[in-house]
Amino acid sequence: MKRTAVIAIVAMVAFTIACGSSQQVQKDYADPNAALVSAQNQQLEKYPVKGFAYKSSEMPEQKWDKWADVATPVVKEIINKLPDGYVLQVTGHADAIGPEQPTGNKPGNIKISKDRAQTVYNALKRKGVDTDKMTYEGVGSSEPIPGSNPSAAKNRRVTFKVVPE
């Protein structure tokens, strides 16, 4: 009797796990572009724009030139292969020093990060990247580099990600 009960419990647990797994698989395949978008985003993670000065949206020319030589062809290729309904989002980030919103004569991290994203967006446009398939936004200090001090200078960056329109 105990053996039958144990077998029944094990079977119910296995069935529950199997049902949960199949639902996740169905969600992953709901978007036929999920694998391509994931691969594109993994590639884009390798190319953040770094080196912004404190509270500045100006990119030091030498750092930008080095980045652009390597990353612009990658960005162009990804944009050319974007699935319908997706865009390349240029996202500006800030360190956690200072307020997020404007306060007094301080512009706030949201504006600074948006200005950084727009600077990179405009520079890519000048390099011949199709900006019709791009957008930009600033997220302030809300997305620090995982494991880093949110106030660290390395959080002053611009990243890229393929997102739905």
Q: How far, CA to CA in Å, does 164 sit from each of 105, 152, 161?
A: 35, 30, 10
Task: Please check whether residue 68 is in contact with residue 21, taking contact to mean a CB–CB distance below 8 angstroms.
Answer: no
In the prediction, which pLDDT does 63 show? 81
Task: Please check whether residue 159 is in contact with residue 113, taking contact to mean a CB–CB distance below 8 angstroms.
Answer: no
How far apart are the C-alpha atoms of 22 and 115, rounded to whole Å?
Answer: 44
Chain centroid to Cα 113, Å, comes to 14
- What residue spans define the domains of the chain? 1-30, 32-164
Mean pLDDT, 10 residues at a time, over the chain (165 residues)? 53 54 51 93 95 90 85 95 96 96 92 97 93 97 96 96 96
CA angle 54, 93, 59 (to 5 degrees): 55
In the prediction, which pLDDT does 80 show? 95
Instruction: Name the CATH code of domain 32-164 (choices 3.30.1330.60, 3.90.400.10, 3.30.230.70, 3.40.140.10).
Output: 3.30.1330.60
In the prediction, which pLDDT does 65 show? 85
Chain centroid to Cα 10, Å, comes to 41
Backbone angles phi, psi at 53, to 5 degrees: -75, 160
pTM: 0.79
Taking residue 44's Cβ as centre, other Cβ atoms within 10 Å add up to 19
In the prediction, which pLDDT does 73 show? 95
